[in-house]
Structure 1
Amino acid sequence: MTLMHCVVMEAAENHPHLLDIPSELSVVMECKTVSVDHLKSTINRLTGGIAKLTKQVEKSSKEVKEQFAPFLKVATDKVSTFAKDLEEIENLRLSLAKYLVEDEAKFKLEECLSTFAKLCEQIKSAIKENKERAVMEEKKKKRAQMEEERKKSGKVSKFAPPPAGENIIDNL
C-alpha cells in the first residue's frame, strides 16, 4: 500500500467527487503526446507554403488564379485560425506556469500534461487495487470466520496443521 492508496481511500470515504478527477482530465490524457513546438513548426511551414503558392498563382494566368483563389482563401483562413489558437495555447501556458509558480521561460506544457496524465493513471490504478484489496480482505475474513466456526463445532479441517508434537511422516 502506497501513499496514493491511502489518499484514494480517504477521498473515497470523505470526498468521493475527487475520484472523478481522471475522467474530468480525460482531455489531458489525449493531449499529453502533442508537442507545441511541433505545432509551431507545422504552422510556420504551412504559412510559408501558402505564401509560396500565392506568389506562383499571381504569376500565372487568369484562369489559374480563379481556380486557386477559393482554395487559397480557405487555406489562409484556416492557418490563421490555427495560429490564433496556438497563440491562445501559449497564453494559457504562461498563465498555468504562473499559477503553478513555475519559471515561465522553462515551463514546458508537454511535461505538465504528462505529469497530470501520470497522476490520473495512478489514481485509477489505486482505485482498482483498493477494490481488489477490499475483496481479498473480505475473503480472508470469511475464511477466518469459517475456520473459527469449525473449531467451535469440533470439526477438524482437512487442511488444518497437525497438533504440535505429532510427526506428519509417522502419521502417514
Structure 2
Amino acid sequence: MRLAKKIIVTTGLVAFFMLSGCTTPYTNKELLDIFNAKGLDTLARDNSIVVFLPGVFFDVGKADLTQLAQFKLGEIASVVNDPRVTERVLLLEGHTDSTGSDEDNRDLSHRRATSVYQSLIVSKVNAKRMSVRGFGEKYPIADNTKSDGSPNPEGQAKNRRVEIVVNNP
C-alpha cells in the first residue's frame, strides 16, 4: 500500500511540475499590446511582429547605439526573454539612408544590426534565436530626398534604423 501511495504522490508531483512549466505562447495580438505598452512602435505581419525603435536612429555613417537605444533594447529583451516568447526567432534587419555607395550601405546596415545583436546578447537573449541582415538603402520608410531633389534630413534619419522582426516558430 505504501508503494502505491508513493507512486500516486510521485505521479502527481511530476504532473504538477510538468503543467506548471508549460506556458501558452503569446498571440501576435498579445505581443503587440505588450510592446506598445512599453512605448515601442510595432507592425503586425502574418507570422511575425516588427518592432521599431522610436526616436532611436543612427548618426550618418555610424553603427553605435545611443543610451536611449540601449534602454529600448533592454525593454525589448525583457519581452522576448519571457517564457511565452522564447520559441520565437528574431531577425535583426539593418537599414541606411541613401547617402553613400550601395556596398558601403550594405556593410553599414549589417554593422548596425550587429550592434543591436550584441546589445541583446548582453541582455541575455539567446544568440541562437537571432540572425542579422543588412539591407542597405533598399527598404526606406521615409523619403531620402524632397520633391525638389534636395536631401531630406528627417527622412534620411528615419531610414537609418534597425527593425527587429519577431517571428512565430
- Answer 1 or 2: which has greater strand percent: 2
Larger Rg: 1
- Answer 1 or 2: which has greater helix percent: 1
Q: Compute the TM-score of the two structures, normalised by the length of structure 2.
A: 0.23
Q: Compute the TM-score of the two structures, normalised by the length of structure 1.
A: 0.22
